[in-house]
Amino acid sequence: MVAAHMHDLQAAKKCGLHTTYVARHGEDTGRKATPDEVDYFVSDEVDLYNQLAK
Instruction: Average the pLDDT over 21-45 and give the result.
Output: 80
Distance CA 28, CA 33 (A): 8
In this predicted structure, the answer to whether residue 32 has a pLDDT above a threshold of 80 is no
Name the pTM for this structure.
0.79
Tell me the pLDDT of the chain averaged across its residues. Answer: 87
Cα 18 to Cα 27: distance, rounded to the nearest angstrom: 20
